[in-house]
Chains A and B, each alone.
Chain A
Amino acid sequence: MAKRPYENTRLAKYLNQRVLELRPKKTQTEIAQEVGFVNVNMMTMLKIGANKVPLDRVPALAKALDCDPAWLMRLALEQTEGDTAARAIIEILGAPVTKNELGWVMEIREASGDTDPRLATRGRNAIRSVFGK
């Protein structure tokens, strides 16, 4: 069995990046303690992809990493792909909506006068052109 089964997941990569970004403010050990990990090496295990992030730790981890909890939850659910429970959650509830995505919703409401516009081809094409797709 692979020693680092989650090494190539977006969550493991994101944790590496975020811990580096936070380094001037707090250490990895402090982050682990804030999350409530008894083993302070747990952050290393998560970063290298040896372990997956337990879903029940996502809220505390998001707080410790100062990031969007919905975004982190989505990455955590993605990491557990293959896990029947996680797939069922996404299928029923959809992927969690981040604050940035809610920002888009607010812009859509303002631009449309809160008329709950349907997503039409024109709107899709406009967004595609903004992102060059």
Chain B
Amino acid sequence: MIGEDRRVVDGFKLPSCAPPTENEFAWICMLRAIVGDGNTRPTLKAVQALRKVLMG
């Protein structure tokens, strides 16, 4: 479970608190299609692969 106990300061909002964008939703739909299950946690291996792609 993520973000439940995140502390926020009035007037500021962390990017991670914002609702998913259309691009992010496309990532989610792709994950659903690949994994076939909408409730898979991000694994270390997956996060490392993501970083490799997104950080260049």
Where the two chains meet, the residues of A that have a C-beta atom closer than 8 Å to any C-beta of B are: 68, 71, 74, 94-95, 97-112, 114, 116-119, 122-124, 126-131, 133
Contacts and interface: CB of A to CB of B under 8 A. Distances in A.
Interface of B: 1-4, 15-16, 20-21, 23-28, 30-32, 34-35, 38-43, 45-47, 49-55
Contacts of B50: 107-108, 111, 123, 126-127
A122 B24 contact: no
B32 A111 contact: no
Majority secondary structure of chain B interface residues (helix, strand, loop or mixed): helix
Nearest to A94: B25
Given A107-B42, A123-B53, A126-B49, A116 B25 contact: no
Contact of B41 (A100, A109, A117, A128): A100
A101 B3 contact: no
Given A94-B25, A106-B16, A127 B38 contact: no
A46 to B, nearest CB: 19
A130 B46 contact: yes
